[in-house]
Amino acid sequence: KQRDPNQPEFHQAVEEVVRSLWPFLQSEPRYLKAAILERMVEPERAILFRVPWVDDQGVVRVNRGYRVQMSSAIGPYKGGLRFHPSVNLGVLKFLAFEQVFKNSLTSLPMGGGKGGSDFDPKGKSDNEVMRFCQSFMTELYRHVGANLDVPAGDIGVGGREIGFLFGQYKRLANEFTSVLTGKGMSYGGSLIRPEATGYGCVYFAQEMLKTRHEGFDGKRVAISGSGNVAQYAAQKVMELGGKVISLSDSGGTVLIEAGLNKEQFDYLMDLKNVRRGRIEEMAAHFGLQYLEGQRPWNLVCDIALPCATQNELDADDARTLLKNGCFCVAEGANMPSTLEAVDLFVEAGILYAPGKASNAGGVAVSGLEMSQNSMRLLWTDGEVDAKLHSIMQNIHHACVSYGEENGRINYVKGANIAGFVKVADAMLAQGVV
């Protein structure tokens, strides 16, 4: 905290890990002796750069670009790019740190990284977004590569942005390689990549529910966010017979008392991915209740899937959810629950999965996209979905193996220890580097 005083999100992510890891570390002195944890909290490399671009009025704009290369112990750096005004070094360090554990949990050979910019794609024209992406990649390209660092999307970086970034990389590097994942299907993408994080989150929740002989059928499911993760989480919940009662964006929440239906889902996909509109418009279009400026956590639900952003669910929200009978929380977003909220969920003994376990499906399928690119092959959607499903089941199994506590499963502890062990063993084997 003294070394990086202005990085509260990073401190929060590290604290969450250290709290559950510390008793384990004390029983494993070889990790302590080799200062594994001290090394893991320090990025191997962090790059910060200027991103100048020209807007549609001919005005020169300047943003800040970053890439945090946290750990390459078990594979090339891997993790998304976020374009959002709230992006700074501390936020990206928290995301990169989480990514190291998450990637390890997938069992695929991927290290951890994260990057992005304080650029806000909202309200920008396609041409402005393209010029920004080209400028961003003009610096980033020398730091990434198919065997070095493979970025993907995150908040504000979807298919459109990945396309522009990939085009500029190819032009500069003069090579067609798997330097980004989340690519379009016509140039090296994988089927099921757009769906992967949302589907994976629901698959993970399904495994948790099974431990209590429960399922999604007939359950009221509150979802926050309405972007990539929220959209496909909602679709999978509907498929499994659950009732999606909410979606949200930074403006507010739409309440769907009867449960999201197919027509509303199709409208949402067009609204958010094509027209880039606000969730308020969906409420108006279907005559649904719109809760301006509110998050969905005071709605009565059985299951909550926070799929928007960090710290979107605090202690008061957690108390309300518990009071209203919510018994399962699976995080689609990264660190959406504050430390206090996590403590309340764990103390209450409900099924609670931290994002590093339950949202690992996205990066897992990114790993599968890299494999397909290396082999010059394309797997069918059924093949990729089956692999995703089995990876999520394996992550659940790993959490159960390491997270058993007084007859219950502490998924925070399980995910942190299982994710840590693989990286730590690789670091021990590779010496002090």
Q: Catalytic site residues? A: 114
Binding residues among 150-209 for ligand NDP as defined by CB under 6 A: 153-156, 158, 197
Single out the residue of 75, 76, 227, 354 in contact with ligand NDP (rule: CB under 6 A). 227
Among 74, 150, 308, 368, binds ligand NDP (CB under 6 A): 308
Q: Put the strands of the sheet holding 328-330 in their side by side order.
A: 289-292, 252-255, 243-249, 220-224, 303-306, 328-330, 351-353
Map the footprint of ligand NDP across residues 229-268, applying CB under 6 A.
229-230, 249-251
Which range, of 69-77, 148-156, 380-388, 411-419, touches ligand NDP by CB under 6 A? 148-156
Q: Least Å distance between CB 372 and ligand NDP?
A: 17
Q: How far is 366 from 333, CA to CA, in rounded Å?
A: 17
Q: Tell me if 333 contacts ligand NDP by CB under 6 A.
A: yes
Residue sitting closest to ligand NDP (CB): 227
> Minimum CB separation from ligand NDP for residue 275, in Å?
12
The span from the CA of 168 to the CA of 186, in Å, is: 16
Structure tokens given for 34: 């080799």
Binding track over 38-77 against ligand NDP, x by CB under 6 A:
----------------------------------------
Q: Kindly state the tokens that stand for 237.
A: 């919940």
Report if residue 113 touches ligand NDP, rule: CB under 6 A.
Answer: no
**Choices 38-46, 131-139, 222-230, 379-387 (CB under 6 A): range interacting with ligand NDP:** 222-230
Number of neighbouring beta carbons within 10 Å of residue 246: 31
Total residues found in the chain within this entry: 433
Q: Which is closer to ligand NDP, CB of 36 or CB of 373?
A: 373
CB of 119 to ligand NDP, least distance (A): 13
- How many binding residues for ligand NDP (CB under 6 A)? 23
Q: Which contacts of 215-220 are long-range, i.e. CB under 8 A and separated by 24 or more positions?
A: 215/240, 215/241, 216/240, 216/241, 216/242, 216/303, 217/241, 217/242, 218/242, 218/243, 219/243, 219/301, 219/302, 219/303, 220/245, 220/259, 220/299, 220/300, 220/301, 220/302, 220/303
Tell me the window of 124-132, 255-263, 282-290, 302-310 that interacts with ligand NDP (CB under 6 A): 302-310
Residue with smaller CB distance to ligand NDP, 116 or 242:
116
Cβ at position 267, least distance to ligand NDP in Å: 15
**């018994």: which residue's tokens?**
327
CB-nearer residue toward ligand NDP: 359 or 410: 359
Q: Where are the alpha helices (DSSP H) in 174-218?
A: 193-210
Which residue's CB is nearer to ligand NDP, number 149 or number 249? Answer: 249
Which region among 5-13, 301-309, 338-346, 387-395 touches ligand NDP (by CB under 6 A)? Answer: 301-309
Among the residue ranges 10-18, 27-35, 134-142, 307-315, the one whose residues contact ligand NDP (CB under 6 A): 307-315
What's the DSSP call for residue 426?
H
Q: Is-contact 364 341, C-beta < 8 A?
A: no
C-beta separation of 302 from 219 below 8 A: yes
According to DSSP, residue 338 is labeled -
With binding defined as CB under 6 A, does residue 332 bind ligand NDP? Answer: yes
341-346 long-range contacts (CB < 8 A, ≥24 apart) are 341/313, 341/314, 341/315, 341/317, 342/16, 342/412, 344/315, 344/318, 344/319, 345/318, 346/410, 346/412
Whether residue 145 contacts residue 69, with contact meaning beta carbons closer than 8 Å, is answered with no
Residues 10-29 that bind ligand NDP (CB under 6 A): none
Q: Which of residues 340-399 bind ligand NDP (CB under 6 A)?
A: 359, 362
Asked whether 211 and 323 are in contact (CB, 8 A), the reply is no
Give residues in contact with ligand NDP (CB under 6 A). Answer: 153-156, 158, 197, 225-230, 249-251, 307-309, 332-334, 359, 362
